[in-house]
Amino acid sequence: MSKPKVGIFGITGCGGCQLEILNLEDQLLDLVNAVEIVHFTEAITEHSDNYEIALVEGSITTEHDVERIKKIGDIAKIIVAVGSCAVSGGLNCLKNLYGVERAKELVYGDKKDWIDSIEVKPIDEYIRVDYYARGCPPNRLEIVDIIRSLIIGRKPEIPNYPVCVECKRNGNTCVYDIGITCLGPVTRAGCNSRCPSSATGCEGCRGLIDDPNINAQKDLLAENGLTVEDIINQFNLYNACKKVEAKESSK
């Protein structure tokens, strides 16, 4: 039985999500034995356009990116968005808050017209995405679980509950109680509450849970001198491409 062919690609991003795959240590050998990696610029010199599964890091920020992601979408049978930039646009979407021309001017000055730059979008704005490995960087074990599930024909189990659940499971003191703002109540879990467990507030890099009630934290925020709008502004750090608006609670 032939191994499934896998391509691992970086669009516009820092490359950290691909490094998480290389950081799998012992499990990297298991991965290499289970699949045939035919394209992975950060790890091998060979490259091929013959692959069934594509893992894609990075967001779409240039016309060249658009061409690349559409080619990947035409070839791959299964596409996995890896990391915040691919899933939601990530940090790159901060450019959109300024507008493309103003952002180019701020960064490149009078050379701005040399730059191929467009409004930032996540990859699912251009191609279908089958699975999402969220986070900045994503949980490397979640990436392994997604690939393993695809190999054996099982649907990956990807959390759709808030980070607060993991905090309680880990016995953490709520960071609000020590004066730190946290987006955990509306952010999708799967990181094992990595930031709150280190006494740092969640910054929402894994994106919103499905159908979040943004106003559910209103009383808690008020106790700490914050508003729903303050939280939404913080959420823009990783999710500016996906507009988040407060909605009235039904409770």
pTM metric for this prediction:
0.88
- pLDDT class for 34, splitting at 50, 70, 90? confident
pLDDT value for 163? 94
Q: How many CB atoms lie within 10 A of CB 9?
A: 25
pLDDT confidence tier of residue 249, bands split at 50, 70 and 90? very low
Cα 102 from Cα 100, distance rounded (Å):
6
Mind listing the pLDDT tens digit for each residue in 116-142? 899 999 999 999 999 999 999 998 888
| Tokens, residue 11 | 């669009």
DSSP 173: P
Percent of the chain at pLDDT above 90? Answer: 56
Q: Does domain 5-152 have CATH number 3.40.640.10?
A: no
Gap between the Cα atoms of 122 and 127, Å rounded? 10
Distance, CA of 111 to CA of 77 (rounded, Å): 40
Running DSSP on this structure, what letter comes out for residue 90?
Answer: G
Q: For position 248, what pLDDT does the model report?
A: 46
Q: Sketch the domain layout of the chain as residue ranges.
A: 5-152, 163-239
Contact (Cβ atoms closer than 8 angstroms) between residue 193 and residue 166: yes
Rounded Cα distance, 60 and 203, in Å:
22
